[in-house]
Amino acid sequence: MDLQRPDSYQCGAGPGFQEHVLHKTILVGDSGVGKTSLLVQFDQGKFIPGSFSATVGIGFTNKVVTVDGTRVKLQIWDTAGQERFRSVTHAYYRDAQALLLLYDITNKSSFDNIRAWLTEIHEYAQRDVVIMLLGNKADVSNERMIRMEDGETLAREYGVPFMETSAKTGMNVELAFLAIAKELKYRAGRQANEPSFQIRDYVESQRQRPSCCSFL
Ligand SMILES: Nc1nc2c(ncn2[C@@H]2O[C@H](COP(=O)(O)OP(=O)(O)OP(=O)(O)O)[C@@H](O)[C@H]2O)c(=O)[nH]1
């Protein structure tokens, strides 16, 4: 397993926004919630159905997102959700600028574990890391165990943006990464007269709702 920081990695700190800087974003959450699938859908626009093959260790994909005419480079790390890899992935939290925390709406324990994930994030990540909570597999409405409003309530409690996603249909996948990129660009390059960007308001106004939950 290669635990070296890639050569192209640079810290995003510093005055003003620099287009060449890679912004480190990490996908975390229980094994099987769909982290790899979400990244594949975002990167390649496809979903590979079939047997589940758990991630071993950690890997990354570089992806450029255009935000208000500016290119934002995200370096997205896909971590293994299995407990035995936890000490390895903790080491990567420290210089992350954003964390996408996933649960599976059809798996109650993955939702119940979110508080423990947040405790770990607060312990190992930077204090100002951007966190977004995602309830994945929203397409599997007949096996839903977690109501959308429960995800919203938990997110509100921790003050983080929230949406449901589907790595299968692509629902809200691009939006999740775009919102992160917008927030990171805003933080790094804020001008004195620029209106403030509120990631939670942005996500709430832009997100699609699964058809089952449009009444929520
Ligand atoms: N229906 C549906 N299935 C999904 C979705 N996302 C992932 N899956 C399936 O869920 C299983 C686990 O997905 P992965 O992306 O491998 O999960 P992971 O979180 O990366 O798992 P680890 O690598 O062990 O941490 C696979 O069989 C996927 O095809 C989704 O949005 N909808």
Ligand 1 atom nearest to CA at 165? 31
Residues of the chain with pLDDT under 70: 1-20, 51, 191-192, 212-216
Say if residues 168 and 137 touch (Cβ distance below 8 Å): yes
In the reported structure, the alpha carbon of residue 30 is separated from the centroid of ligand 1 by a whole-number distance in angstroms of 10
Per-residue confidence (pLDDT) for residue 9, from 0 to 100? 35
Per-residue confidence (pLDDT) for residue 18, from 0 to 100? 63
Cβ–ligand 1 distance for 215 under 6 Å, the answer: no
Per-residue confidence (pLDDT) for residue 52, from 0 to 100? 77
Per-residue confidence (pLDDT) for residue 192, from 0 to 100? 67
Q: pLDDT tens across 120-176, in order?
A: 999 999 999 999 999 999 999 899 999 999 999 999 999 999 999 999 999 999 999
Say if residues 132 and 103 touch (Cβ distance below 8 Å): no
The CATH class of 22-189 is alpha beta
Q: What is the torsional sign of CA 145, 107, 114, 23?
A: negative
Domain ranges for the chain? 22-189
Say if residues 62 and 24 touch (Cβ distance below 8 Å): no
Element (H, E) at 175: helix 173-189
